[in-house]
Amino acid sequence: MCGFVGTMGQNSLASFSLLEKSVDSIGHRGSLSLQPQFYKSQMFCCGFSRLDICDLNDRANQPFFKEGYEHIMCFNGEIYNFQELKNELIKLGYTFGTTSDTEVVYYTYHHFGKECFKKLRGMFAIAIFHTKTQELLLARDHFGIKPLYYCIKHDKVYFSSEIKAFKNFLKFEVLKENIIEFLSLGINLDNTTLFKDIYSVLPGEILYFDSSLACKTTPFFSLLDTFNTSSSPDIDTIESILLKSIEKHIPTDVDYGTQLSGGLDSSFVTTICHKYNQNLQTFSVNFHIPTLDESYFQNMLTSQLGIHNHSFIYDDFFNIEFLKQSIYYEDFPLHHPNILASNKLNNLASKCGLKVLLSGDGADEVFCGYQWHLLQPQMIDNLSLALLNLAYVSPQLLSQTLNLPLKPINKTLIDETRKIQTDNMMTFLGQKIYLQKWLRRQDRSGMQNSLEIRVPFVDTHLIQALNSLDTKTKTQNLAQNKFILKLIAQKYMPYNLVYQQKIGFPIPIREWFSSSQSHMLLSLLQSDRAKDRHIYNNQQISHFINAHQSNQGDYSRLLWLLCNLELWLQVYID
């Protein structure tokens, strides 16, 4: 896990000093003890900040290139089947000078070209420059676990692991038409972002830029196709794939732990990891409010396994400086307040000397763990209704408080959902849309602490197997969430832990926005600075603040998003 920044275009070398500053701005993505590395030429420059996890030797440093080959590579991520690929390449005549997955990716691309990305099992964002053809390739993993952004300005292509790195090359402007969609869903539904002229490489996508900067896009993976297969794996097969995925996600060269909420997903990952590491450490967050406290189940599991659990109470909601810092690292308004608690948890793990944590993220989207997975088909028979189930706050409610346009639903998404059975609609949308914001949270929350978060439930083999089954099969005829995962988990974990009531990772913002301290955040929306933007409907915002604080409704989510929008504008746009 690492971070990189690069530029391609005539006379790229002239802006090399700006590139160095940009790499420094994402230095948190690498090990603090390692200096960033660079490659520079007239047509292409790049810099790399490395978090050394696989092959700790300098020989695996990046940007990576080999004498006699015609491409330079930046690779952020982990490839969990790299040893199998390495054995295949050795049979093809390749010799290796490192034990890293980086060199394996490099040679896999050299031999198989663009087909190599289909062979990679893991998370990755990759940039490859061809020195002979003067072409740039950008590629992102199947499900978008690792981020990759780009923009075309000043006759150059700029690319980076995080948007903040572009600030040295261009002035940030907000793309207002994207604001309501982003606040509602936590992402934008196309490749645009909240920043004008800055784009995201989409999951499962390859971008080619030729020397004139003309761009061609090619998908190497289609999530939609995973729902249209004829295979029907049994539970034993799914269990085997899941166990193998967790095993492959366990690092061999550095110490690791797990994020332990106390829920089914993280508890299962922790249980399996403990089989491989008797000294496993876990990390948990709790709250003073009993209905949100999962410490009972955390203690049940850690006591049974004999694990040392690092836990703490989170109550630092009104720390404005920490909130602004978190927004800075996220690149975006925080789509959920639990990001703050995640940042504290990952910071604790980093201070304990760990470089990797395994997480239960993705289990709900893959095994059908949300209430909207149990909806009858007639309740989600059109895309607008389906998307409302994924919304943190409805776009209609947001539009009452923001003088901004509502963006039409992305046409590509409309076309895709016409090709999928209604029974599978919410599973498809959950993986394509809802999962994305949680993967971004784990990337940014981990990386700001020089910590890699791995998500074994977000595995190509596992998702392909489960998506070949219809939703009714995975939910016991729409009666039980995560039916298959529970059948598997009860072989390894206490029954009460497996079949507990789902809490998730909520934050008590309803209570906090009703407290006497809430003015510390809400005053942001009533300031002259906010009013001068002319995007807020001040009368409506005052109405919702008063209604919430007089207990006439719960508008805490709305208030949270509006406060985050204002702080994001202050951090990135002003």
> Which residues are part of a known binding site for ATP?
285, 359-360
> How many helices and strands (H and E) does the chain possess?
25, 16
Strands (DSSP E) found in 63-154: 71-79, 122-130, 135-140, 149-153
Q: Tally Cβ neighbours within 10 Å of residue 273.
A: 22
Binding site residues for L-glutamine, as ranges? 101
Lookup result for tokens 């202050």? 570
Binding site residues, as ranges? 101, 285, 359-360
Distances (CA, A) of 130 to 120, 216, 307, 566: 21, 16, 49, 42
Q: How far apart are CA 121 and CA 270, in angstroms?
A: 21
Distances (CA, A) of 452 to 48, 81, 174: 16, 18, 30
Q: How far apart are CA 539 and CA 23, in angstroms?
A: 43
Rg of the chain's alpha carbons, rounded to an integer?
Answer: 23
Q: How far apart are CA 401 and CA 551, in angstroms?
A: 19
φ/ψ region of 93 (left if φ > 0, alpha if ψ in -120 to 50, else beta) reads: left
Lookup result for tokens 């604790």? 348
Q: How far apart are CA 344 and CA 361, in angstroms?
A: 17
Burial of residue 254, with CB atoms counted within 10 A of its CB: 0-12 exposed, 13-18 middle, 19 or more buried: middle
3-class DSSP state of 26: coil
In which order are the strands placed within the sheet that holds 308-313?
308-313, 281-286, 256-259, 356-358, 452-454
Distances (CA, A) of 270 to 242, 281, 314, 417, 450: 13, 9, 22, 35, 21
Tokens of 532: 């001068």
The one catalytic residue in 2, 46, 116, 273 is: 2
Provide the residue type at 202 as one letter. L
Q: What is the enclosing helix (H) or strand (E) of 453? A: strand 452-454
Supply the DSSP symbol for 405. P
Provide the residue type at 243 as one letter. L
Q: For residue 76, how many C-alpha atoms fall within 13 Å in the half-sphere facing its CB?
A: 31
Tokens of 375: 């909806």
- HEC string for 357-389: EECCCCHHHHHCCCHHHHCCHHHHCCHHHHHHH
Strands (DSSP E) found in 145-289: 149-153, 156-160, 199-200, 205-209, 215-219, 256-259, 281-286
Lookup result for tokens 């709900």? 364
Residues 6 or more apart whose Cβ sits within 8 Å of residue 68: none
2 assigned to active site: yes
Positions marked catalytic:
2
